[in-house]
Structure 1
Amino acid sequence: MAWSWRFVNADGETMMNDEGTPAGQGVEFPTQADAESWIGEHWRNLADSGVDGVTLLEDGREVYGPMSLQPPE
């Protein structure tokens, strides 16, 4: 089982990396807890680089999301 994140922009579109694959999906985690810990540590940098939201995937299947990376208003 592999866990990963899919990054979306403000329009809700999947962001792509330089290789033309969905951004975020290249980094895999062995557990959901590892993936959630990673996003908790990196969400500010991701938001600063244009990522508006993330969706958690388990072996390519959406678990939840998109979850906004923007601070609450």
Structure 2
Amino acid sequence: MIRPRWEWALETDEGVRLDASLSPVFTTQFDAEQWLGEHWRSLRAAGAAQARLLGEGQQVTPTIVFRAP
């Protein structure tokens, strides 16, 4: 059985994709979304300004923009 693959495409303000190793690969959308909710601040500090959730390489949610509170 092939498991689904979910991962975050993290990008700068200019839309440049950051190193893919910043996001683990997940087997569920829920796990991917939970991870982003826990780590978005440190990702923002590392230069990420937005994130796109990819399911099997296709964007499956609207782009999420990180805004500092």
Equivalent AA in structure 2 for residue 68 of structure 1:
V
Task: Quote the Cα distance in structure 2 between the aligned partners of 1:23 and 1:8.
Answer: 13
Compute the displacement of 1:12 (Å): 1.6
C-alpha spacing 1:65/1:23, structure 2 compared with 1 (3 Å): farther
Equivalent AA in structure 2 for residue 11 of structure 1:
E
**Runs of at least 5 residues in structure 1 that lack an aligned partner in the other structure:** none
Equivalent AA in structure 1 for residue 55 of structure 2:
E
- The total of aligned residue pairs comes to 66
Report what 1:57 is aligned to.
Answer: 54
Q: Give 1 or 2: higher helix fraction.
A: 2
TM-score calculated relative to the size of structure 1: 0.79
**Runs of at least 5 residues in structure 2 that lack an aligned partner in the other structure:** none
Q: Give 1 or 2: higher strand fraction.
A: 1
TM-score calculated relative to the size of structure 2: 0.83
Structure 1 segments of 4+ aligned residues over 2 angstroms from their partners = 22-25
What is the aligned-residue RMSD (CA, Å)?
Answer: 1.6
